[in-house]
Structure 1
């Protein structure tokens, strides 16, 4: 039993026998693809490039307390977060509603499930967000209207920034409340320590004067020397000097500033004054931090760094009309060859069956 074999070189005689059909199919494909290519609308692409930042470095509370600085993207979680936000449905619905894309895409009225889904699908097919090899985010949007494409791309970047900022808003409010609690606590402690300090000064006669202890010791020594001299001379001043010495050394001597009170209260007043100074410093810092954080939470710090805004394209990105025509012609030619080859094979097998 013999069988007919076919090879690539053997296709030419087959094509030659069916050249009219093949040529007709190729010409028809050429004409149709040319018409279709000319009818296809021009698609324009606008691209925005930006770097995401770490939300912790754009948090005003953290900037205030830690002196943080802006850190550009590069962390995998920051890049993934931004891409996820950009491709999320809430962002898409916001843009579709803002630019009335239901009408632009001719999907139907707003509120109809099929129309809404068709608009979302069309929007998603025109959007492309990728992480490039330089750790930046490229957001590209395609549309038949080049100005609209640029506006939508820039609006998407703004929406991503807005949503990204919201991630830290609740945390910032909680931190602000902690700052307020800390400030109130320090104010109460400061006032209580101040009252204790005033009461201690009145009780012990220690007012924190410069060289207070040195002057007290000097007065005691000088008074005691005068007393000894007066006693030795039998002077009438001795009684007065004894009272003066007692006033300098004893609490019941009548002097507000005396050695007994000073000795008894020195350690307590030193500790109390040190705490007072510490609380005063911490309270000033807490008030400043709270006021700065309260001001910061009312403002907005961008969570992305835009390298390039989207601009209307100067030339179309697609379709490549010559490629459409060439692809259609080559595909038609290949399918024609396959068809006539199968037809020749079928005829050959059929004639062999009849010969038997």
Structure 2
């Protein structure tokens, strides 16, 4: 004949073993209280920041487009920041800076076992996550709330520095290109300026407006005097002199410094050189401005992170929750006790044998 068991049927069993169950619960209560009281308080400090778009911190973008820092919620930016923060070199740097070997009591630095234990403890206390607002939350926990805040803030700075180093070499190359372009344009501008000076000396042109007025006035005056002399029957020597004067003003081979032929050729050359110099001057000014802006951007070390909230020392502990430890320990002990005494009861009943009938 089979027997059935229910939760209500456990009460008589518990009642029969109440002393043993009570002793186990008291021991669990006292032990859990003792353990909960000896556990150190753990404090958390959290820093929140956004990664900026690295393209907006490059000198070429800043100089040529005048761009500004933009928040970069791109997946690759977020993954790069989290990877840097969780990397071993960054962890070892923080461990060395704050002497965490001594703080974690894992042994002297320099031994493989101590270094590995310190790194594992550091990694266990660090949490870097991408939250639902596309920001990064960096949390560090420690028994010392001041130390936890300092490590969290330092870690943000180290991540920023490493992230900048990833594009630093490219920035230097871009700055070198700007410098080369500026030096080239400066040399070209100086060469064009010398060509313009030589052209002015060759053609004797130093003031276009004034000289054009003087040349036109003299040509008209000499030509008018020539026509008057020819019409009035002046002497041949006077007419010949006026004709030579007119040729001197209009022909280059007559020896006049200022003459129409040289002036026309000179004006064309000067216009060409002037246009070239104007173009080079504009490009030179722009190139110089771009180079100076890129140089300032590189030396300024623009942050690659936008810090929303720096880490502050916690005002209350995050763990342990002592009452939960005590309650959980007592409940677990009760559950295990019920299982044990139930199994004992089943074992005792299964070992019972019916008595043999008496012979007559």
TM-score over 0.5 (shorter chain): yes
Contact preservation (8 Å) 1:107, 1:118: yes
Q: What residue in structure 1 maps to residue 62 of structure 2?
A: 63
Q: SS of the residue aligned with 2:123?
A: helix
> 1:191-236, CA deviations, whole angstroms, 9 ceiling, x for partnerless residues?
2222222222333444452365565445434432332222111224
Provide Cα deviations, 1:96-141, integer angstroms capped at 9, x if missing partner. Answer: 1011100010001111001001000101111111222232222111
- Given that residues 59 and 174 in structure 2 are in contact (C-alpha distance below 8 angstroms), is that contact kept between their aligned partners in structure 1? no
* Within-5 A mapping of 1:132-143: 132-143=131-142
| 1:183 counterpart residue number | 182
More moved, 33-42 vs 47-56: 47-56
CA distance in 1, matches of 2:62, 2:234: 75
Alignment of 1:83-122 (within 5 A): 83-122=82-121
Structure 1 residues 167 and 4: alpha-carbon distance in aligned structure 2, compared to 1, 3 A threshold: same
The structure-2 alpha-carbon separation of the partners of 1:212 and 1:91, relative to structure 1 and needing over 3 Å to count, comes to same
Distance in structure 2 (CA, Å) of the matches to 1:11 and 1:221:
135
Distance 1:285 1:339 in 2: 87
Aligned 8 A contact 1:4 1:348 in 2: no
- CA distance in structure 2 between the partners assigned to 1:227 and 1:342 by the alignment: 144
Aligned equivalent of 1:160: 159
- Any residues of structure 2 matched to 1:153-302 within 5 Å, and which? 153-207=152-206, 209-210=208-209, 213=212, 216-236=215-235, 237-302=238-303
Give the 3 Å change call, closer, same or farther, for CA 65–350 of structure 1 in structure 2. same
Alignment partner, residue 27 of structure 2:
28
Query: In structure 1, what is the Cα distance between the partners aligned to 2:221 and 2:25?
Result: 128
> Aligned equivalents of 1:247 and 1:54: distance in 2?
70
Residues 353 and 315 (structure 1 numbering): CA distance in 2 closer, same or farther, change over 3 Å? farther
How far apart are 1:349 and its partner, in Å?
4.0
**How many residues get paired?**
354
Partner-residue secondary structure (3-state), 2:208:
coil
The runs of 5 or more residues in structure 1 that have no matched partner are none
* 2:126–2:139 Cα contact (<8 Å) kept: yes
Does the 8 Å contact 1:102/1:110 carry over to 2? yes
Contact residue 41 and residue 144 of structure 1 kept, 8 A? yes
The corresponding residue for 2:8 is 9
Deviations 1:255-314 (A, max 9, x none): 233222233344443222211111122222223332343344333222222222222222
Matched residue SS, 2:47: strand
1:51-71 Cα shifts (integer Å, max 9, x gaps): 221222233453233211121
TM-score by length of 1: 0.90
Aligned partners of 1:249 and 1:271: how far apart in 2?
A: 22
Q: Which residue of 2 aligns with 1:150?
A: 149
Cα distance in structure 2, aligned partners of 1:300 and 1:75 = 22
CA deviations on 1:334-354 (whole Å, 9 max, x unpaired) are 222222333333444444799
> Deviation at 1:142?
0.9
Q: Is the 8 A contact 2:59 2:175 kept in 1?
A: no
- Quote the Cα distance in structure 1 between the aligned partners of 2:318 and 2:134: 24
How far does the alpha carbon of each residue in 1:303-336 deviate from its partner, in whole angstroms, 9 at most, with x for none? 2222222222221111010000111111111222
SS class of match (1:111): coil
